[in-house]
């Protein structure tokens, strides 16, 4: 599915963006266990008080379990974002919403007579307002910032092998050959509490944020991802080319992408806990 671009109706001083999204089951899988969602402000006031939200989840567990878990996670986070208090700091809001999503997945697993990793999902979420992006994630779905044709990875894969690399137990070469390289060390639905990674990033006009499942980043080299995004002004075309490349190179997994281009930003500062516009 492709997301509609946001119309340019807000003043040039406000954050203004366009986006596209696409989710594909791949060449081999019988069903798509990925899920994508977004919350787009309908009026200027909502852009200032709440901002934008994009979320992507990659369900695990097989059969319909992964599909249910990813859908519940994204829908829970989006619903919580819509009902959040005005001007609530995204850095505090998103981790709380992801904890709530974790509870929703656990409750669904209990009702279905399942527990633990039998119904689980990754989740990466990005909230945008003024001149900032806050990124939260659990699992190995990623967020990249593409600036001047260079992609910077803003997330860290929560996998067994990546954790072993961090503490020096494996080299990257050894991890690439490990049978556990795709085994998650964190996911929604595994435990009552989940550790959520959160980071905040300043944005510039022209920046592109990419949220994706491992069906993309596990198949397509970062250099090709950079090239496809930089060469396509139309984000819908870029999304299709990314998915097509993943299918051509591999296609054994579901593939989901969300692309967000920043058109304009509103530079903000903080004084005594209150935001104000910088001139």
pLDDT greater at residue 184 or residue 7: 184
Q: Does residue 109 contact residue 192 with C-beta atoms inside 8 Å? A: no
pLDDT at 279: 45
Q: Does residue 220 contact residue 248 with C-beta atoms inside 8 Å? A: no
Name the nearest CA neighbour of 127 among 154, 156, 150, 148.
Answer: 154
* Domain range summary for the chain, segments of one domain joined by +: 16-161+187-263
Paired sense of beta strands 142-147 and 208-212, if any: antiparallel
Q: Degrees (nearest 5) of the Cα angle 127, 132, 136?
A: 40
Residue corresponding to tokens 């803003």: 154
pLDDT digits (tens, 9 = 90+) for 6-22: 333 333 447 999 999 99
User: Which of these CATH numbers, 3.30.465.10, 3.40.1190.20, 3.60.40.10, 1.20.120.1230, describes 16-161+187-263?
Assistant: 3.60.40.10
Which pTM does this prediction carry?
0.89
Give residue 111's pLDDT band: very low, low, confident or very high (50, 70, 90): confident
Give the whole-angstrom CA distance, residue 236 versus residue 126: 19
pLDDT digits (tens, 9 = 90+) for 144-167: 999 999 999 999 999 877 666 677
Question: Which letter, b or e, does each residue of 23-47 get, where b requires 16 or more Cβ atoms within 10 Å of its Cβ?
Answer: bbbbeebeebbbbbbbbebeeeeeb
Give residue 119's pLDDT band: very low, low, confident or very high (50, 70, 90): confident
Three-state secondary structure call for residue 176: helix
Give the whole-angstrom CA distance, residue 277 versus residue 153: 29
pLDDT exceeds 70 at position 271 = no
pLDDT digits (tens, 9 = 90+) for 205-231: 999 999 999 999 999 999 999 999 999
Give the whole-angstrom CA distance, residue 46 versus residue 67: 30
Beta bridge partners of 181: none
pLDDT digits (tens, 9 = 90+) for 25-42: 999 998 999 999 999 999
The HSE-up count of residue 81 (CA atoms within 13 Å, CB side) is 30
pLDDT at 254: 97
pLDDT at 115: 54
Give the whole-angstrom CA distance, residue 94 versus residue 39: 13
């Amino acid at each position: 599915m492709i997301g509609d671009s946001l119309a340019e109706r807000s003043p040039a001083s406000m954050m203004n963006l366009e986006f596209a999204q696409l989710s594909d089951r791949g060449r081999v899988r019988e069903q798509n266990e990925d899920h994508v969602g977004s919350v787009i402000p309908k009026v200027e006031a909502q852009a200032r008080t709440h901002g934008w939200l994009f979320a992507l989840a990659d369900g695990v567990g097989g059969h319909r379990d992964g599909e249910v878990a990813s859908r519940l996670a994204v829908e829970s986070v989006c619903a919580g974002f819509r009902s959040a208090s005005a001007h609530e700091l995204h850095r505090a809001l998103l981790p709380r919403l992801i904890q709530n999503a974790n509870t929703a997945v656990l409750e669904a697993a209990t009702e279905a007579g399942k527990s633990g990793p039998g119904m689980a999902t990754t989740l990466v979420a990005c909230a945008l307002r003024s001149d900032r992006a806050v990124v939260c994630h659990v699992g190995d779905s990623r967020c990249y910032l593409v600036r001047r044709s260079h992609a910077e990875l803003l997330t860290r894969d929560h996998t067994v092998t990546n954790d072993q690399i961090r503490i020096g137990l494996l080299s990257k070469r050894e991890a690439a050959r490990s049978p556990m390289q795709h085994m998650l060390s964190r996911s929604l639905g595994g435990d009552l509490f989940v550790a959520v990674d959160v980071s905040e990033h300043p944005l510039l006009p022209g920046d592109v944020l990419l949220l994706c499942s491992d069906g993309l980043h596990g198949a397509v080299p970062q250099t090709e991802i950079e090239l496809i995004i930089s060469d396509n002004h139309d984000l819908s075309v870029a999304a299709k080319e990314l998915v097509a490349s993943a299918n051509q190179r591999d296609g054994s997994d579901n593939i989901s992408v969300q692309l967000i281009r920043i058109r304009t930003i509103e530079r903000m500062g903080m004084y005594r806990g209150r935001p104000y516009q910088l001139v």
